[in-house]
Amino acid sequence: MHTFLSRVNAVSAFSLSTLAALTFLCFASTFFINYKAPVTITAANIVLKNVPEYAVSREKNDLGALRFDLSSDLTPLFNWNTKQLFLYLTAEYETPNNKINQVVLWDKIIKRGDASVINLKNQHLKYYFWDDGNGLLGHNNVSLTLSWNIIPIAGTLPTWSGTGSYKLAFPSEYTLGRSY
C-alpha cells in the first residue's frame, strides 16, 4: 500500500510534467510567427553641439538633438502568447573610432490591452544622443530604426526590427548658444 506522501508525490510529478508539456506546446505554437511590422520614421530640427560630458570626463563630445515623427500599427504583434512589447528607437552609424555605434534614443512599453497603434508627432528624444568624440559632425549616414522585444507569457525573448528606417544627416557646423 502506498503512503499518503508517495501519492501526493506521484500526483504532483504528473501535474508538473503535464504543465511543462503544455507550456512548451504553447511556446511552439507562436515560435514561427513573423513579428515584423511597417514603421515610418522622420526627423527634423537636427542640432549638433560640442559640449563637455561631465559624467565620463571633461573632454568635449558631440551631443545631437532632434525631434522625430514615428508611426506604426503594432496590433498584429499581439497574440495570446504576447504579454507586452518593449519598443526602442536606435540610431546606428559608423565613425573612424568605432565600426558600429548604436545609441538608444527613445523607448516605450506597450502592455496587452493598451493602444498598440503608435502615432507620435514632433517627439523629443528620451535619452541624450552622445557620441564618444566628434563623430557626428557632418555625418551623413545615421540610420534611425525602431526595434522591439516581445515579452511572451511562455518562451524565448525575441528581438525584431520594423520594416522601414530613416537616414539623417548632421550639420557640418556646431550650433552655438541655446537651441532646440
SS (HEC) of 46-61: EEEEEEECCCCCCCEE
Answer whether residue 91 is part of any domain. Answer: yes
- For residues 80 and 11, membership in a common domain is answered with no
Q: Is the pLDDT of residue 9 over 70?
A: yes
57 plus 23 within the same structural domain: no
180 has a pLDDT exceeding 70: no
Question: According to the model, what pLDDT value does residue 179 have?
Answer: 65
Is residue 56's pLDDT more than 80? no
Q: Residue 82 contacts by C-beta under 8 Å, 6 or more apart in sequence?
A: 30, 112, 150, 151, 152, 153
What average pLDDT score do residues 145-166 get? 91
Count of helices and strands (H, E) across the chain: 1, 8
Q: Which of 30-39, 64-73, 84-93, 113-122 has the lowest mean pLDDT?
A: 30-39
Domain containing 14 equals: 1-32
Between residues 44 and 53, the one the model is more confident about: 44
Do residues 61 and 117 share a domain?
A: yes
Q: What's the total number of domains in the chain?
A: 2
CA angle (61, 167, 34) in 5-degree steps:
115
The predicted model gives 108-115 an average pLDDT of 93
Binned at pLDDT 50, 70 and 90, residue 142 comes out as very high
| Average pLDDT of the chain, as a whole number | 90
78 and 24 in a common domain = no
Asked whether residue 115 falls in the same domain as residue 26, the answer is no
